[in-house]
Amino acid sequence: MRILEVVGLTKRFGGRLALDAVSFTVEEGQILALVGPRGAGKTTCAHCLSGVTPPDTGRIIFDGREFTGGDRHDLARAGLARTFQFTKIFPRLTAADNVAVGLGRHRFARLAVALRAWRRASRRPQALAILTRAGLADSADRPAGLLPLGMQKRLEIARALAGRPRLILLDEPFGGLSDAETGAMSDLIATLRGEGLSVLLIEHRMDAAMGLADRAVALDRGVVIASGAPERVRSDPKVIEAHLRADARTSSH
């Protein structure tokens, strides 16, 4: 069953075309890898899909409902959660309190009220259960800002899971991680699929993404250049060329 359908998504910033008629689908219970070099339009796509930035044209259909240009809170309530390329945790709160924010399902302005309600309602067992899923139970009472990057990224996923989403959009979850942290993140994402959660994995690290994905879509300069089985996309000449071009551009700076 199709959980997300993206049709002809287009976004401009001034004279720059960031997304050009991008279309793809995510099937329920599967991992779709949206890959491409830096600057390919992946994060712009994530912003459009999660209601952060409205697209100029195109359609976003989530769980059979139209959400094109929809409010991010409406999308969250419908079951679409996301993480960000640069983690958005509450660094002074403990890991458990960060998850409590997700359990409260509230806006940031009501953070203090939600945390008090969480303590009164004894939500700590729920938070600990979610942290355990993310491999963070031993860090429940540590300030989130003191955790290593890999643990912070898994904490952000744990907070997203607190809202019991049907699809989770992961924006560059492997960025900046060591080999050990990459392994822990891969294990967590594979676990999510095993639990029946749909995952849209947005990543420029092809090695990490392709080993997890059921299907893949490759972007380059805002255009879909390949889609299908992960290995077929990975070996597509247009995909290889796009990454070689990006590597050459990076090494010249």
CATH of domain 1-79+165-230: 3.40.50.300
Residues sharing a CB contact under 8 Å with residue 190, sequence separation 6 or more, in sequence order: 212
Q: What is the mean pLDDT of residues 11-32?
A: 94
Task: Between 121 and 213, name the one with better pLDDT.
Answer: 213
CA proximity to 49, closest of 65, 69, 79: 69
pTM comes to 0.88
Is the pLDDT score of 250 beyond 50? yes
The model's pLDDT over 39-58, given as tens digits with 9 standing for 90+, comes to: 899 999 999 998 888 899 99
Angle between helix 124-133 and helix 111-120 axes, rounded to 10 deg: 100
Is the pLDDT score of 253 beyond 60? no
User: Comparing 13-17, 20-24, 153-157, which segment has the lowest mean pLDDT?
Assistant: 13-17
Q: How high is the mean pLDDT of the chain?
A: 87
Q: Domain residue spans in the chain?
A: 1-79+165-230, 89-164
The model's pLDDT over 158-213, given as tens digits with 9 standing for 90+, comes to: 999 988 999 999 999 998 999 999 999 999 999 998 888 999 999 988 888 999 99
Task: Give the whole-angstrom CA distance, residue 109 versus residue 162.
Answer: 18
Task: Give the whole-angstrom CA distance, residue 82 versus residue 159.
Answer: 10
Residues sharing a CB contact under 8 Å with residue 37, sequence separation 6 or more, in sequence order: 204, 220, 242, 243, 245, 246, 247
Task: Between 120 and 67, name the one with better pLDDT.
Answer: 67
CB atoms closer than 10 angstroms to residue 207: 10
The model's pLDDT over 52-86, given as tens digits with 9 standing for 90+, comes to: 888 999 999 999 888 886 677 788 888 999 998 88
Spatial contact of 18 and 199, defined as CB atoms under 8 Å apart: no
pLDDT band at 109 (very low <50, low <70, confident <90, very high): very low
User: Comparing 107-116, 154-163, 228-237, which segment has the lowest mean pLDDT?
Assistant: 107-116
